[in-house]
Amino acid sequence: MGIFSRLSDIINANLNALLDRAEDPQKLIRLIIQEMEDTLVEVRSSTVKIIAEKKEIERKIATIRQECEAWTGKAEVALSRGREDLARAALSARGKAAENADALEADLAPLAEALAKSDADIRSLQAKLTDARTREQTIAARRQSAVNRVKVRAKLYDDRITNAFARFEQVERSLDELEGKADSYDVGRNQSLTEQINELAAGDKVDRELAELKAKLAARAGKPVAG
């Protein structure tokens, strides 16, 4: 047995309430759509039968109405020939035919109501079906998005990634040690050109101060300054 047992159950169903109570919304919406599609086929098939029956009755009524006209013509012919008895019989036959036509026309009224009801049911069911299909796509998209997020989060917290970052740090430490070893070879080596020039400038300053000191001492002693 399907989720719905009658067409009215589907038409009056509240999809939001059903989905809220469902453990697996995607599975439920798929079942609902299947039930709606099957029901729609049944309703259309029933509607086809009603239309066919209505057309058959209308065709019979048209035939009987033609018979009524024919009996009227026959009554006129009989009466013109002085056969009142035949004219009466023809009119009687026309009356019975007219009664049959009236009875058949009475049968058309419930068929017309049934067709109107079927049309309203089909429109409502199609609207529900469109809504359900839209919700199915939305649910499927949300589910896929959630699955993808779970995969990404799982990879982010995967031990292999953690171990990979640990290895990166180990490689960086090894590089630091290697660079330190390379820099150690420069310790104690000859001074750079800049350092040597700076020392020359400092030596010139000392020489000037020494010459000034010698000149001062020579002036005091009254001797010429040497060098």
| Among the ranges given (14-23, 47-56, 80-89), the one the predictor scored with the smallest mean pLDDT | 14-23
All structural domains of the chain with their residue ranges: 7-156, 158-189, 193-227
Vertex 174: Cα angle to 168 and 176 (nearest 5):
105
Going by C-alpha positions, the residue among 122, 135, 126, 124 that lies closest to residue 18 is 135
Do residues 34 and 6 make contact, with C-beta atoms less than 8 angstroms apart?
A: no
- Going through 7-66 in order, the beta strands assigned E by DSSP cover none
Task: Read off the DSSP letter of residue 6.
Answer: S
What are 67's two structure tokens?
Answer: 């018979």
- At residue 1 the predicted structure's pLDDT band, cuts being 50, 70 and 90, is very low
pTM for the predicted model, two decimal places: 0.53
What is the mean pLDDT of the segment spanning 205-211? 74
Q: Could you report the per-residue pLDDT of 77-119, keeping only the tens digit for each?
A: 999 999 999 999 999 999 999 999 999 999 999 999 999 998 9
d(C-alpha 82, C-alpha 77), whole Å:
9
User: At residue 181, does pLDDT exceed 70?
Assistant: no
Q: Helices (DSSP H) in the chain: which residue ranges?
A: 7-11, 15-21, 25-80, 84-156, 159-184, 193-221
What is the mean pLDDT of the segment spanning 12-28? 69
